[in-house]
C-alpha cells in the first residue's frame, strides 16, 4: 500500500456516521412494559410518547403499529391509543432519519 496524507476533518453537519442520528424516541423505552388504566368514566387513558430532535424546527411524523398519527413541531409529544400486547412506535423526520421502539401494553379491563 501507499501512505496518504491525513484524512479531512468530518463535516459536523453530515449525519452519515452510524449512531449520529438527530432523532430519538425518549419515551417509551425499548421493550418497556406499560400498564394503561381507565379513568372514572371507564375511558382508556393514553400513553404520551416523547421524542427529541437535534433541530426542533424539523417536523416529526408519528406512526403507531404502521398507522399514521400526525406530525409534531417544536415540542415532540404525541398521545397514543395503544392496543393490548406489543405495540411498535416509529418516528421519521423530514430528512428521512427514523427511530423505532417496541413496547408491551397491559390494559386494565
Domains identified in the chain and CATH numbers: 23-107 (2.60.40.10)
Q: How confident is the model at residue 42 (pLDDT cuts 50, 70, 90)?
A: confident
Per-residue CA distances from 30 to 10, 20, 88, 101 (Å): 31, 18, 10, 5
The pLDDT value given to residue 11: 58
Cα separation of 15 and 88, whole Å? Answer: 25
Instruction: Name the residue with cell 404520551.
Output: 48
Q: What is the mean pLDDT of the chain?
A: 87
Q: Is residue 87 scored above 90 in pLDDT?
A: yes
Cα separation of 27 and 83, whole Å? Answer: 17
What is the percent of the chain where pLDDT is above 70?
Answer: 83
Between residues 42 and 35, the one the model is more confident about: 35
Cα separation of 92 and 61, whole Å? Answer: 5
pTM (2 decimals)? 0.79
Give the number of other CB atoms < 10 A from CB of residue 52.
14
Amino acid at each position: 500500500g501507499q501512505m496518504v496524507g491525513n484524512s479531512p476533518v468530518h463535516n459536523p453537519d453530515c449525519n452519515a456516521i452510524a449512531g449520529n442520528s438527530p432523532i430519538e424516541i425518549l419515551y417509551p423505552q425499548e421493550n418497556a412494559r406499560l400498564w394503561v388504566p381507565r379513568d372514572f368514566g371507564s375511558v382508556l387513558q393514553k400513553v404520551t410518547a416523547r421524542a427529541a430532535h437535534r433541530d426542533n424546527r424539523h417536523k416529526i411524523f408519528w406512526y403507531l403499529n404502521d398507522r399514521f398519527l400526525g406530525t409534531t413541531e417544536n415540542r415532540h409529544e404525541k398521545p397514543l391509543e395503544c392496543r393490548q400486547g406489543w405495540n411498535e412506535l416509529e418516528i421519521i423526520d423530514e430528512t428521512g432519519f427514523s427511530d423505532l421502539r417496541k413496547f408491551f401494553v397491559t390494559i386494565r379491563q
